[in-house]
């Protein structure tokens, strides 16, 4: 059977609906948040847009049909993510952050845990956010360091039928919730014994956001992703039932990798969305401006060649993303292409936006063009969700050292 990249009628509908939603709703985000100085105020201001996103079914799309969701595949979700992020990065990132917070439950929770926690989110999808609490205030690249005392410092100690959690996290996307008091639930990466290595002690525990002891102590203000909540969250003697642990202590390293690799593939789509926006802005400029000369900018040969280079990069990143998502849908344990997608597409995005700025010139470094803002958004992609240097290349390095590694297996779908 021939390889076919044509979208099915159902996929075309997903794509068209996301494109129309972005055009009619998300196009308002930039002007809405522009006058707001505090990061939390920018985030809270986007709640009506997120509510419309939920009403349109995008939150339900994160979850399998057996738990009340729409059951979109990773590939289909990536099609929607590209369309949304081509207009605005902020509200879609809140959606993706919710999916990230729920992914450990979907991948490793018991049937009861899945039904309970997914059901809670879907009871009020416009208001209830999940948050993945991984990154420590000391950093997150070495979360899986096996040395006792290194890596994750957030500690969960067992007291009877409860876990008691203490620790400090930041870059805890969605961790404030829409009211500033905490997400609806957190999936907290923690150690159950500070003296044992991560293969014996690293765990993920589901923590309801209304549990006493959760404190949102501040917000990180980022130059891009301006309306994404990146709060600092403290867990102070937070008590949750013992059954809220996912799996058992020591299972979290593979849970975190699984969770972050779902996000890695989707970041490929988000990077393509931002690149698309940059290309279309530069193309429009070159077709309508002469820069004081006697011909349109696009008629210059070097401009046409640069546009060709930009478009080729976007297409390459898109199809790598599709391939990675397809692989995850077929075999969630095969994540090599997802990691490659995150590294390649995120770093390519920075270069594409920069080259689009070079085409437009100094106006691109002002509010006369969206490109400066797109650059601020693009710079985040190589750094977050497992930095390309601190985490992602290390993951690939380890994969290559695996006995029996086959360099062609991912390419050939084996």
Asked if 277 and 374 touch (Cβ cutoff 8 Å), the reply is yes
CA distance 369 to 382: 23
CA distance 71 to 62: 7
Concerning whether 385 is annotated as a catalytic residue, the answer is yes
Q: How far is CA 302 from the centre of its chain?
A: 35
Q: HSE-up of 1 (CA within 13 Å, CB side)?
A: 3
Calculate the CA dihedral of residues 191, 229, 318, 82 and round it to 10 degrees. 130
CA distance 59 to 70: 9
The single-letter DSSP state of residue 136 is B
Distances (CA, A) of 386 to 48, 346, 369, 393: 30, 12, 30, 10
Asked if 289 and 104 touch (Cβ cutoff 8 Å), the reply is no
Region for 71 from its dihedrals, namely left if φ exceeds 0, alpha if ψ lies in -120 to 50, beta otherwise? left
Residue where the block lists tokens 């084996």: 414
CA distance 132 to 398: 24
Region for 384 from its dihedrals, namely left if φ exceeds 0, alpha if ψ lies in -120 to 50, beta otherwise? beta
Tokens of 109: 């929770």
Out of 195, 331, 385, 406, pick the active-site residue: 385
Distances (CA, A) of 90 to 87, 94, 215: 10, 7, 24
Asked if 174 and 119 touch (Cβ cutoff 8 Å), the reply is no
Phi, psi dihedral angles at 103 (to 5 degrees): -60, -40
Tokens of 164: 């008691």
Question: At 201, is the secondary structure helix, strand, or coil?
Answer: helix
- List, by residue number, the catalytic residues: 385
């Amino acid at each position: 059977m021939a390889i076919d990249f044509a979208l099915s009628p159902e996929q075309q509908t997903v794509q068209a609906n996301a494109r129309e939603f972005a055009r009619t709703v998300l196009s308002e985000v930039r002007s809405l948040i522009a006058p707001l100085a505090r990061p939390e105020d920018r985030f809270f201001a986007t709640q009506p847009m997120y509510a419309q996103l939920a009403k349109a079914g995008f939150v339900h799309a994160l979850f399998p049909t057996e738990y009340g969701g729409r059951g979109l595949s990773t590939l289909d979700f990536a099609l929607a993510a590209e369309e949304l992020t081509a207009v605005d990065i902020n509200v879609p990132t809140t959606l993706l952050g919710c999916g990230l917070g729920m992914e450990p439950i979907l991948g490793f929770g018991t049937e009861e845990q899945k039904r309970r926690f997914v059901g809670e989110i879907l009871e009020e999808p416009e208001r209830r956010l999940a948050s993945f609490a991984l990154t420590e205030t000391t950093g997150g690249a070495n979360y899986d360091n096996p040395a006792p005392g290194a890596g994750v410092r957030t500690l969960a100690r067992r007291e009877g039928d409860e876990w008691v959690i203490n620790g400090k996290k930041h870059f805890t996307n969605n961790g404030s919730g829409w009211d500033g008091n905490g997400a609806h639930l957190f999936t907290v990466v923690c150690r159950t014994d500070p003296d044992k290595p991560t293969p014996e002690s690293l765990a993920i525990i589901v923590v309801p956001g209304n549990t006493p002891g959760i404190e949102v102590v501040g917000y990180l203000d980022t130059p891009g992703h301006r309306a994404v909540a990146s709060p600092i969250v403290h867990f102070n003697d937070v008590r949750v039932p013992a059954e809220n642990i996912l799996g058992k202590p020591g299972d979290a390293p593979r849970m975190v990798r699984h969770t972050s690799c779902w996000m890695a593939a989707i970041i490929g789509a988000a990077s393509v969305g931002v690149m698309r926006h940059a290309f279309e802005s530069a193309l429009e400029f070159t077709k309508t401006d002469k820069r004081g000369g006697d011909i349109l900018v696009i008629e210059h040969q070097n401009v046409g060649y640069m546009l060709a280079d930009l478009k080729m990069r976007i297409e390459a990143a898109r199809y790598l993303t599709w391939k990675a998502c397809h692989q995850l849908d077929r075999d969630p344990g095969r994540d090599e292409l997802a990691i490659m997608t995150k590294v390649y597409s995120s770093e390519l995005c920075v270069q594409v936006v920069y080259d689009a700025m070079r085409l437009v010139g100094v106006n691109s470094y002002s509010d006369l063009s969206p490109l400066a803002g797109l650059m601020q958004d693009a710079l985040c992609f190589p750094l977050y969700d497992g930095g390309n240097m601190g985490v992602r290349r290390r993951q690939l390095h380890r994969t290559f050292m695996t006995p029996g590694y086959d360099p062609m297996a991912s390419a050939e779908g084996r």
